[in-house]
Amino acid sequence: MKMPSPTRRHFIGGLLGSASFWLYSDHKVWADALAVGNAGPYAPRYFNKEEWRFLNAACERIYPTDAHGPGARGLGAPEFIDRQMDTAYGRGELWYMSGPFVSAPANLGYQLSLPPREVYRQGIAGADAYVRAHHDGRSFADLETAEQTAVLKEFEHGEMALGAVPAHLLFEQLRQNTLEGVFSDPLYGGNKGLAGWTLLGFPGARADFMDWVNQEGAAYPFGPVSISGETA
């Protein structure tokens, strides 16, 4: 067993003796999730090679691997996003997409004509072009992780256009879909090994708390179950 990092030791220390300790420990979930993440690479259906490198790097910065367990890559969030692109959601079919498309104050909501799959296509190309121009020709995926985080922070509140996509909108799209991938049922390709749910202590599809309505503040004792019956 490798030595836990200081933060992790500290964190686990705080939980020792509590009912949920096992949820955090070197539980099989981690190993399984990481194994799946590292197993035969998923072949993206929508994203091209460059986009896929960007997506993997960006998801991992948003939800990094750390002392708590696997990050977005290990959990399959990029795969989740790739698969979502070929759904009604990815194609923008759940949204009102008739024109005219005009710019409006941010509080009145999304007003671009681009569905999610186009936000990514144009946004990622724009983002990589922006990064190459500011980081001596390297693309986002080739930056050091600290540099990647700094670029995402710039995007998070940035108005600069990445293709037709304002940087903050690309960031928002990335953050939302990454977290969806981490925390949705594994049915959709993410949350591998249920490790996203395990981190939070969310029991998944159990959906029956008849005997646990009020635990007087004790932690719920059971681990998660997925729709397909997978447990962790």
Partner 1 sequence: MTTKKTDAIVIGAGWAGSILAKELTEAGLSVTVLERGEDRATAVEGDYPTSIDELRGAIRHRLFQNLSQSTVTIRNTMDQDAVPYRRLAAFLPGEGVGGAGLHWSGVHFRVAPDDLALRTNVIARYGKNFIPEGMNLQDYDVTYEELEPFFDKAEKVFGTSGEPYTIKGKVAGTGNPFAPDRSDAFPLPAMKDVYSATVFKKAAANVGYHPYSLPAANASAQYTNPYGVQMGPCNFCGYCSGYDCYMYSKASPNVNILPALRQDPKFTLITKAHVLKVDLDSDGKKATGVTYLDLNTNQQVQLKADLVIISAFQFHNVHLMLLSGIGEPYDPVKNTGTIGRNFVYQTITTSRAWLPSKQYTNLFVGAGGAGVAIDDFNSMNFDHGPLGFVGGSPVWVNQAGVKPIAAAIGGPAGNAPTWGEGYKDAMVETYRHSLTIDAHGSNMAYRDVYLDLDPTYKDAYGQALLRMTFTWKDNDIRMNQYVVSKIEPIMKEMGATRYALGHLHANELFDTRRYQTTHLGGGAVMGADPKTSAVNRYLQSWDVSNVFVIGASAFPQGMGYNPTGMVAALAYWAAYHIRTTYLKNPGPMVQA
33, 34, 36, 62: which one contacts partner 1 (CB under 8 A)?
Answer: 62
147 binds partner 1 (CB under 8 A): no
Q: Where are the alpha helices (DSSP H) in the chain?
A: 6-15, 21-24, 28-38, 49-62, 77-84, 116-134, 145-157, 167-183, 195-200
Q: How far is the CB of 137 from partner 1 (least distance, A)?
A: 25
Residue 65 or 139 with smaller CB distance to partner 1: 65
170 binds partner 1 (CB under 8 A): no
* Sign, CA torsion 222/70/186/26: negative
Going by C-alpha positions, the residue among 225, 229, 228, 227 that lies closest to residue 198 is: 225
Q: Which of residues 4-33 bind partner 1 (CB under 8 A)?
A: 11, 14, 18, 20
214 binds partner 1 (CB under 8 A): yes
Q: Which helix (H) or strand (E) holds 112?
A: none
Per-residue binding string, partner 1, 79-118, x by CB under 8 A, is ----------x---xxxxxx-x-x-xxxxxxxx-------
176 binds partner 1 (CB under 8 A): yes
208 binds partner 1 (CB under 8 A): yes
DSSP 143: S
3-state secondary structure of 40: coil
DSSP secondary structure of 149-205: HHHHHHHHH---EETTEEHHHHHHHHHHHHHHHHHS-GGGS-SGGGHHHHHHT--BT
Residue 129 or 218 with smaller CB distance to partner 1: 218
Contacts with 131 (C-beta within 8 Å, 6 or more apart), sequence order: 138, 139, 140, 143, 151
Q: How far is the CB of 49 from partner 1 (least distance, A)?
A: 25
Residue 104 or 129 with smaller CB distance to partner 1: 104
Binding interface with partner 1 (CB under 8 A): 11, 14, 18, 20, 61-64, 66, 68, 89, 93-98, 100, 102, 104-111, 149, 152, 175-176, 178-180, 182-185, 187-188, 196-197, 199-205, 207-210, 212-220, 227
